[in-house]
A = this chain, B = another copy of it.
Amino acid sequence: MAEKKLVEAITSMEEDFAQWYTDVVKKAELIDYTSVKGCMVIKPAGYAIWELIQKQLDERFKATGVENVYLPMFIPESLLQKEKDHVEGFAPEVAWVTHGGLNPLQERLCVRPTSETLFCDFYKNDIHSYRDLPKVYNQWCSVVRWEKETRPFLRSREFLWQEGHTAHATAQEAEDRTIQMLNVYADFCEEVLAMPVIRGRKTDKEKFAGAEATYTIEALMHDGKALQSGTSHNFGDGFAKAFGIQFTDKDNTLKYVHQTSWGMTTRLIGAIIMVHGDNSGLVLPPLVAPTQVMIVPIMQKKEGVLEKAAELKELLAAKGCRVKVDDADKSPGWKFSEQEMRGIPIRVEIGPKDIEANKCILVRRDNHEKMEISLDELGDKVTELLETIQKDMLVRAREHRDAHTYVATNMDELEKILNETPGFVKAMWCGEQECEDIIKEKYSATSRCMPFEQEQLSDTCVCCGKPAKKMVYWGRAY
């Protein structure tokens, strides 16, 4: 049976999660590999998801006063080196341009791995007075990091992202913006991607190169591994001092600005796959599904079937749904299977008998539920169902996350959980990097974040037994 063939083409996630992931990105036609090692083609089905992410995230940014700009993709080596921690963090993984046309360059240029240094160089000339503040700029672009091991969406040498860079008159305003954008990210993940996240702060070991504080949202994938899904950094005035970004304040004195940056990437598409996908393929939350409803005509060569399908399409499009008719010359079973692979939230089946009875079949992708409904209610039912699916997917993902969040009070418990029931592990920490290093070396787990919602699980550090300062989420991460 055709339906089986396509499903059999992907490995089951229980058998080999990594292979399941690779199979899904390929079979759902999200990406293709290229001759450029570590870089991918994002195909129409994948890019359309990114466009929906961009549009909805950009609207949320603009509602908070963000303006978009575009800065060069190249950074002169001397500029990259101005902030000490930053260059140490990035220099080992950038691509260097050494020739322009037929001539060697006087100074090497790196392809931006991130644009803090360029924004600083720009702000240095653009900011003079308190009247020029705040600057709340963002750019949508691609960046390059010369990774050794790559995986589609999760880690590639080039990826698409947005990077916000702001400058403020006071430390408090910078901190407020840092937290504000983290919350924009977290709300976006929950409300649009149906993906629950833990909001918290990174430990010093895990923070961004050059940041005073890094905040993060951490999501749990279906295999129990964590995925850092967005970060927001407060730089204090460190970059401002390195680059000389000063302004004349209201009191007529020269002050350094306080800066932030924050970013989310095409990695989110990887997160959607690993949070919601199943053994039939991709499962897309309706708000980021390029096609939300696929109408499959049954016995489509019979008179009136394709016409009815087209009519239902118009009806649903008029309701604001992204809807298509699959009238390809393939069996319905094959089509069902293809749409499941692609994660289309709702399937409408309509054949001669249905038309006669003025009804059709709706099938939900997320839970495979089938329902028969009257054609008279189709419009309302489908829009209502899209909302229900969006909500149910978040509830299910949260239940999975909570069911895979554990508590460890000592190293034995930590080891047992990580090896036997992978997930988030909540455990107390003394605040010393040494304990993070030990846990990483022994169990390949890292501190994901110190969550804003702290709990006092015990009084002592899970590793060294000394007095605990913070509860930390630990996990193995992508």
Task: Identify A34's interface contact among B36, B47, B71, CB under 8 A.
Answer: B71
Question: Quick one: which of A71-93 are within 8 Å of B by CB?
Answer: 71-76, 79, 92-93
Task: Identify A69's interface contact among B47, B79, B111, B121, CB under 8 A.
Answer: B47
**B69 contacts A36, C-beta separation under 8 Å:** no
**A73 contacts B32, C-beta separation under 8 Å:** no
Q: Please tell me if A41 contacts chain B, counting CB pairs below 8 Å.
A: yes
Chain B minimum-CB-distance residue to A119: B41
Task: For A142, list chain B residues within 8 Å (CB).
Answer: 70, 73, 141
A125 to B98, CA, bound (A): 32
A sample of 26 cross-chain residue pairs with beta-carbon separation below 8 angstroms, ordered by A number, consists of A32-B122, A32-B125, A35-B121, A36-B72, A36-B109, A36-B118, A40-B72, A41-B69, A41-B122, A42-B71, A44-B67, A44-B68, A44-B69, A44-B137, A48-B67, A70-B160, A73-B142, A73-B144, A73-B158, A92-B101, A94-B101, A95-B99, A97-B97, A98-B99, A100-B146, A111-B111
Chain B minimum-CB-distance residue to A75: B36
Task: For A48, list chain B residues within 8 Å (CB).
Answer: 67-68
Chain A residues in contact with chain B, CB under 8 A?
32, 34-36, 39-44, 47-48, 50-51, 67-76, 79, 92-102, 109, 111, 118, 121-122, 125-126, 137, 141-142, 144, 146, 157-158, 160
Task: For A118, list chain B residues within 8 Å (CB).
Answer: 34, 36
Task: Identify A51's interface contact among B68, B92, B158, CB under 8 A.
Answer: B68
Task: For A36, list chain B residues within 8 Å (CB).
Answer: 72, 74-76, 109, 118
Task: For A99, list chain B residues within 8 Å (CB).
Answer: 95-96, 98
**A101 contacts B42, C-beta separation under 8 Å:** no
Most buried by B among A32, A73, A122: A73
A160 to B79, CA, bound (A): 23
Task: For A35, list chain B residues within 8 Å (CB).
Answer: 76, 79, 121
Task: Identify A122's interface contact among B34, B100, B160, CB under 8 A.
Answer: B34
Task: For A160, list chain B residues within 8 Å (CB).
Answer: 70
Chain B minimum-CB-distance residue to A72: B39
How close is A270's CB to chain B, nearest CB, in angstroms?
15
Task: Identify A72's interface contact among B41, B47, B141, CB under 8 A.
Answer: B41
Knowing A76-B36, A142-B141, A160-B70, say if A100 contacts B92 (CB, 8 Å). Answer: no
How close is A314's CB to chain B, nearest CB, in angstroms?
16
Chain B minimum-CB-distance residue to A124: B35
A93 to B142, CA, bound (A): 21
Q: A39-B73, A97-B97 are in contact. List 10 more A-B contacts (CB 8 A).
A: A34-B71, A36-B118, A41-B71, A42-B71, A47-B69, A51-B68, A70-B160, A95-B99, A95-B109, A141-B142
How close is A34's CB to chain B, nearest CB, in angstroms?
6
Chain B minimum-CB-distance residue to A142: B73
A94 to B102, CA, bound (A): 8
Task: Identify A95's interface contact among B39, B93, B97, B126, CB under 8 A.
Answer: B97
A76 to B37, CA, bound (A): 10
A122 to B51, CA, bound (A): 21
Task: For A92, list chain B residues within 8 Å (CB).
Answer: 101-102
How close is A117's CB to chain B, nearest CB, in angstroms?
9
Task: For A96, list chain B residues within 8 Å (CB).
Answer: 97-100
How close is A462's CB to chain B, nearest CB, in angstroms?
35
Task: For A146, list chain B residues within 8 Å (CB).
Answer: 100-101
How close is A156's CB to chain B, nearest CB, in angstroms?
9
**B137 contacts A111, C-beta separation under 8 Å:** no
Most buried by B among A97, A99, A141: A97
Task: For A32, list chain B residues within 8 Å (CB).
Answer: 122, 125-126
A67 to B36, CA, bound (A): 22
